[in-house]
Amino acid sequence: MEQIIENIKKQFTLSDVTTAHGTYITCEKKDTVSLLTYLKDVEGFKHLVLITAVDWIEDNKFQLTYLLNSPKLKTELGVRTFIERSVWPEESEMQSAHHLWPAAKTYQRELHEMFGIDFPGSPEINDPLILEWWDDIPPYRRDFDTKKYSEETYYPREGRSTNDPSDYMKDQLYPREGEKNA
């Protein structure tokens, strides 16, 4: 693995290499697809395990992780890149990798839908995959509030009363004077 990292460093600038729990390297946004092509064609990382994003809202960045596996070397390599986090309704943008692995299409469709990251040129990128007719903030972003959304979208069913559990138990266990038989 060290040899592979050395080979990569000859051609690409890596800003960070971590080997604590598996090997993860960080490269620049513009180099990502060429690095993936290099890893797939030259170093034998043929299997794309997953593409996913992490929302670092405090740094205003999205982290994209491409996890690759080399069946020959029996090892995994994570390629990280940081892209700018746009303010919804504007979308962040990243180059597509569907020409390297057709399976990347599905991951990119999900990222487009869930994080609002656009991959121009990726097939069916604008078709909804899981959510249909969604016009709110992409739901996997950190600033999407699930509780607020459910309170606005759904409503309590009529005829149901809810109690605060602690108050309810207190009333049950220690009924106040005069209220016991009320």
Partner 1 sequence: MLDYGVNNRELFPETKSDGTVDIDLSSGKFVKVWQGPQHPGITGNMSLELTILGDEVMESKTHVGYLHRGFEKLMERRRFINNFPLVCRICVPEPDFNEYCYAAALEELAGIEIPENAQWIRTLILEMARLQSYMMWMGGQAGSLGMGMIGQWVYWARDRVLQLFEELSGARIYHIYIIPGGVRENLPEGFKGRMEQMLQDVENVLKDVDRVLFHNAVFKKRTIGLGYIDPDWVDEYGITGPNARAAGFNRDIRKNYPYAKYGELDFEPIVKKDSDVFTRARLRFEDARLSIDLIRQILAKTPDKGEFKAKMPSMLHWKIPPGETYVKAECTRGEYGYYVVTDGSGYPRRINVRGPSYTHAVTLAEKLMVNVNLADVAGTLVSIHTYPPEIER
Query: Tokens for 61?
Result: 């960045």
For position 20 contacting partner 1 by CB under 8 A, the verdict is yes
Q: Show the binding pattern over residues 81-120: x = contacts partner 1 (CB under 8 A), - = does not.
A: --------------------xxx-xxx-------------
Residue 54 in contact with residue 63, Cβ under 8 Å?
yes
- Least distance CB 146 / partner 1 (angstroms): 6
Binds partner 1 (CB under 8 A): choice among 2, 3, 21, 156: 21
Q: Would you say 93 and 69 are in contact if contact means Cβ atoms under 8 Å apart? A: no
Q: CB of residue 182 vs partner 1: minimum separation in angstroms?
A: 38
Binding-site member from 27, 32, 39, 55 for partner 1 (CB under 8 A): 55
Pinpoint the alpha helices (H) of 16-122. 32-41, 104-115
CB 36 within 8 A of CB 79: yes
Starting at the edge strand found earlier in the chain, the sheet holding 14-18 runs 14-18, 23-27, 75-84, 61-70, 47-56
- In this structure, the strands spanning 47-56 and 14-18 are unpaired
Q: Which of 146, 161, 166, 181 binds partner 1 (CB under 8 A)?
A: 146
The least CB distance from residue 174 to partner 1, in Å, is 27
Structure token digits, residue 77: 């390599």
Q: Footprint of partner 1 on this chain (CB under 8 A)?
A: 20-22, 24, 46-50, 52-55, 65, 67, 71, 74, 76, 78, 101-103, 105-107, 128-132, 139-140, 142, 144, 146
